[in-house]
Amino acid sequence: MSVKEMEISTEVKQEHYEKTVKEWEKEEEFINGFLESCENRVYMSPFELTFCLYYIQISQAIQFAKQKLETWNEKTKEQKKTRTVTLHGKVSPEHFLFDERGYGYFINFEKARQGSPIQDLLPFLARSLKTQPKYGDEIIDWIYVYLKYFPFREDEMQLFMSYLAFPSGIIRVAETYHQRKAEVDERKFVQKLQRQYWLLSNTGYVVTKIDELEKQKEQAKQEGAQS
């Protein structure tokens, strides 16, 4: 993977951080307000009732994402450079092969471009986790196969977990429902909400496991340095 380092000013990075925090806080304010409006109704609609049942997990995902974003910001405050790499463009296990020596490599670079190292895995996971509820251990294993050959820096891993965890999809569905100007098909909206909740649950499992593994690696590293 071709890697380049680019100069980045502290001001630009801080502006990106503050803009993201502001956007996420606005989303958080919306779900809190929507929850309150739902709970104040005498009779909730099926969508509103379902949203209330999902609220705690949505809120927890937002808090986790904000925490990881804050950690990324702290770790990169003194950094003057950022990495860009050659992205595959459509990462999937089908495009990753092993040779007879056990070395892994990608094929099919038709959509390759330069970008942040995390930009390959995020779309792949969004596609792979958009299923019915499941434990994503196979996906976690594949992520670490990928990282064996194309490792993230510590700050990149924090940013990756932050973006992965933020529940933008389920918030979009709730916003669309809230902004409706006419009668809607409740069943279809509940189905959309449910599918996004499955994605949220699957993503939560994966990102929690990654966080645990990264903490174990950091602890082992510290213990090794002390011995």
Decide if 83 is inside a domain. Answer: no
Vertex 117, ends 112 and 122: CA angle to 5°? 85
Long-range pairs for 135-138: beta carbons < 8 A, 24 or more residues apart:
135/205, 136/202, 136/205, 136/206, 136/209, 137/209
For residue range 208-220, list pLDDT tens digits in order: 999 999 999 888 8
Torsion angle (degrees, nearest 10) of CA 39, 45, 46, 49: 0
- Domain residues for the domain of 161 are 3-78+129-226
Who has greater pLDDT, 34 or 101?
34
Decide if 87 is inside a domain. Answer: no
Decide if 116 is inside a domain. Answer: no
Decide if 169 is inside a domain. Answer: yes
Decide if 119 is inside a domain. Answer: no
**Rounded distance, CA 90 to CA 180, Å?**
34
| pTM of the complete model | 0.86
Decide if 86 is inside a domain. Answer: no
**Rounded distance, CA 143 to CA 148, Å?**
9
**How many folded domains does the chain comprise?**
1
Decide if 123 is inside a domain. Answer: no
For residue range 170-227, list pLDDT tens digits in order: 999 999 999 988 888 999 999 999 999 999 999 999 999 999 999 998 888 888 777 6
**Rounded distance, CA 72 to CA 163, Å?**
11
For residue range 105-123, list pLDDT tens digits in order: 555 656 555 567 777 788 8
